[in-house]
Amino acid sequence: MSELAATVGDTMVLAKRSLLRIPRAPDLVLAFTVQPIMFVLLFVYVFGGAIQTPGYDYVDFLMPGIIVQTVGFGGFVTAMGLAEDLKRGLIDRFRSLPMSRSALLTGRTLADVATNVFSVAVMVAVGLLVGFRFTTGVVEVLAGFGVILAFGYAFSWVFAFVGLTASSPESAQSLGFIAIFPLTFVSSAFVPIESMPSWLQGIAEVNPITITVDAVRGLFIGTPYGNDAVISLLWSLGLTLVFAWLSVTRYRRAVTR
Amino acid sequence: MAAGAVASCRPVNPELAVEATELRKSYGDVVALAGVDLAVPAGSVLGLLGPNGAGKTTAVRILTTLLPPDGGRATVAGLDVVADAVALRSRIGLAGQYAAVDENLTGFENLEMVGRLYRLGRGAARGRADELLERFELTSAAKRLVRTYSGGMRRRLDLAAALVADPPVLFLDEPTTGLDPRSRRGLWETIEARVAEGTTVLLTTQYLEEADRLADEIAVIDRGRVIARGSADELKDRVGGERLEVELDDGLAVERAVAALSPMADEAPVAQDRTVRLPVRRRGGAIAEAVRRLGEVHVGIEDITLRRPTLDDVFLSLTGRVAEEEASTEEEASAEEARRPQEVAAP
Ligand SMILES: Nc1ncnc2c1ncn2[C@@H]1O[C@H](COP(=O)(O)OP(=O)(O)OP(=O)(O)O)[C@@H](O)[C@H]1O
Ligand SMILES: [Mg+2]
């Protein structure tokens, strides 16, 4: 067996392990189903009347934003899982096995892609029920999902690093939220950035979440998006490379305790 | 020291399954290993015995490629733990100090996963999982999530995971800590069966009974150094002749008893709770003399026995020495005696 094939095999074994866990933990099932539904409904019905999005229904404006936010958080399972593996000594076991040195991380982040696909499907279904419509072609819509999943994957690697660095599973989760929450709110995800104070607009404009949301919005409902899709993909690639390298380096030295 | 001489033979000795020379490791200011030599002949069992913080786990982590040493070198199954780490991992099994099993998988899924990661292939991994669950009496719990397992069941599953690939060298870090006596004996039998089939085992333990039963050779490690090594019998001989063990009826009288009994031995008596142990020079009359001496200082005796030394004696006399010097000297002991005359117990 070539080393690459073996690495892929190890990754699959460990991705399966991560996925098996989800239906067995009721809180995770809620996190992947009820939470996104709740977000869509709350935003549409609570903020929908208050936020002005000239030329578009708020639900059409909102859906790309809320989907990007959700996949951005999707990697928290990786952060929590890795922190738990560290705490329970499983990292020691894995590191003593002849498996690929990155497989635990590629396995977990790959499992996140699967759960992100699931969450996105749930949200799109709920969105369609409350009035969201795609107004572009099939190719654009598919490209939009590609941009979303790439972005979610990149953030899984950020979370992987957080999970290996945090002192406990609980702090891994809250560290992740502290990092991502302000990022999603200081972006075009929920409100047009023109409505923010000007100093905040400057931050929001360079925020990769804004770029990604604008790209997805353009690909789903036809707003102008310039090069945002390409720039978003470059962000995802860059974050993935940097945090994969950081995480694998950290994993190789990680010891329980 | 004979074993030390073996370990310092520089060329890799194919007869040795584990060979470590001058291993050093520090965590910041904490010196965990201060130059440890180990030599485990293939097919034998080395017991690494030591108190908390002695460096046992650190040694195991270095030998299982988890941690690079700061200095020294080690080979396992003829492979260098640093340079040949990748090749080495398929030849070792590790059961760490804390059961490393996935709570959210079933027992079967845990073993299957480990088998796949040893690259056994799906069918082989499943077959092996069933076989090991059977051997460790976990078949009826095979389909249950591990988070519903008892501590002993987890430990057994953890050991089973270490055996998945039938590795020629096994590392077991305190394998029976937290097990009830029946499970402990079961585990010992499993380990003995592996050794009978030719597996080399390095196990750490705080239980002398365990080292006595399983280990061909014992290395006593304290504060990052090997302070004694040899077979259980050799170590017991080193501690010398018969041991007198006196259980007092009053724990507060221990220091007086130690002072009264110390002229009978070359070595200072060791006290633990209400029990005082000492090696005695002559067997004949030892009990009578001890009873008389304790009677003179009015210390009551609950039980008194004369026996061959156990590894406990070895352990306490080797690792307790420094602590003893730091603790009560004889003056302090007699000062104590003067302060508390009310504790005199009628024999
Ligand atoms: N990751 C770490 N960071 C800092 N210090 C550590 C670390 N691991 C171990 N130590 C220290 O190194 C020393 C040796 O620890 P080690 O775990 O090897 O002991 P041990 O013999 O296994 O003890 P125990 O019987 O308690 O398991 C101890 O003083 C411990 O506090
Ligand atoms: Mg230990």
- For chain B, what is the domain count? 2
Residues B69 and B170 in one domain: yes
Interchain pair B86, A24: CB under 8 A: no
**Is B286 inside a domain boundary?**
yes
Quick one: which atom of ligand 1 is closest to the CA of B55? 18
Residues B105 and B129 in one domain: yes
Which of A47-51, A172-176, A231-235 is most confident? A231-235
Between A209-218, B53-62, B199-208, B311-320, the lowest mean confidence (pLDDT) is in B311-320
Q: Is pLDDT at B288 greater than 90 in this prediction? A: no
* pLDDT (0 to 100) of residue A82: 92
From B163's Cα to the closest Cα of chain A, the distance in A is 12
* pLDDT (0 to 100) of residue B9: 38
Residues B83 and B208 in one domain: yes
Residues B204 and B327 in one domain: yes
Whether the CB-CB separation of B290 and B21 falls below 8 Å is answered with no
Mean pLDDT along residues A198-204: 92
Residues B225 and B246 in one domain: no
Place B320 in a pLDDT band, splitting at 50, 70 and 90.
low
- For chain A, what is the domain count? 1
Residues B205 and B273 in one domain: no
What does the pLDDT look like over A110-166, one tens digit per residue?
999 999 999 999 999 999 999 999 999 999 999 999 999 999 999 999 999 999 998
Q: What is the CATH number of the domain that holds B280?
A: 3.30.70.980
Residues B69 and B30 in one domain: yes
- Closest ligand to the CA of B54: 1
Which of A179-183, A218-222, A252-256, B1-5 is most confident? A218-222
Ligand 1 touching residue B25 (CB < 6 A): no
Q: What is the pTM of this model?
A: 0.81
Average pLDDT, chain A: 91
Average pLDDT, chain B: 83
What does the pLDDT look like over B168-224, one tens digit per residue?
999 999 988 878 888 888 889 989 999 999 999 999 988 878 888 999 999 999 889
**Order of all β-strands in the sheet with B16-27:** B30-41, B16-27, B71-76, B79-80
- Helix (H, G, I), strand (E, B), or coil: what is residue B159? helix
Residues B24 and B58 in one domain: yes
Q: Is pLDDT at B343 greater than 60 in this prediction? A: no
Q: Is pLDDT at B315 greater than 80 in this prediction? A: no
Q: Is pLDDT at B132 greater than 50 in this prediction? A: yes
Please, which residues have CB less than 5 A from ligand 2, an ion? B 56-57, 97
B140-170 burial: b if 16+ Cβ within 10 Å, else e: ebbeebbeebeebbbbbbbbbbbbbbebbbb
Helices (H), B75-229: 85-89, 107-117, 122-135, 151-163, 181-196, 208-214
Q: Which residues are CB-contacts of B172 (< 8 A; sequence separation ≥ 6)? A: B95, B159, B162, B191, B201, B202, B203, B204
**Is B315 inside a domain boundary?**
no
* pLDDT (0 to 100) of residue B192: 93
In percent, how much of chain A has pLDDT > 90? 63
In percent, how much of chain A has pLDDT > 70? 98
Q: Residue B62 to residues B4, B52, B82, B191, B207: CA-CA distances in angstroms? A: 19, 18, 9, 22, 22
Q: Is pLDDT at B6 greater than 50 in this prediction? A: no
- Substitution target in A29, A94, A97 with the highest count of B β-carbons within 10 Å is A97
What does the pLDDT look like over A53-111, one tens digit per residue?
878 888 999 999 999 999 998 888 899 899 999 988 899 999 999 999 899 999 999 99
Whether the CB-CB separation of B232 and B306 falls below 8 Å is answered with no
What is the residue range of A94's domain? Answer: 3-256
ipTM summary value:
0.89
Name which of B94, B104, B114 is nearest A21 (Cβ-Cβ).
B104
Helices (H), chain A: 3-24, 26-32, 34-42, 58-74, 76-87, 90-96, 103-129, 138-165, 169-185, 198-206, 208-221, 228-253
From A198's Cα to the closest Cα of chain B, the distance in A is 48
**Is B314 inside a domain boundary?**
no
**Is B346 inside a domain boundary?**
no
Residues B219 and B267 in one domain: no
Q: Which of B26, B48, B56, B98 to mutate to test the pocket of ligand 1 (most atoms within 8 A of CB)?
A: B56
Q: Is pLDDT at B11 greater than 60 in this prediction? A: no
Place B101 in a pLDDT band, splitting at 50, 70 and 90.
very high
What is the residue range of B199's domain? Answer: 3-236+323-339
Q: Which residues are CB-contacts of B142 (< 8 A; sequence separation ≥ 6)? A: B106, B107, B108, B130, B133
Query: A6 in contact with B at a CB cutoff of 8 Å?
Result: yes
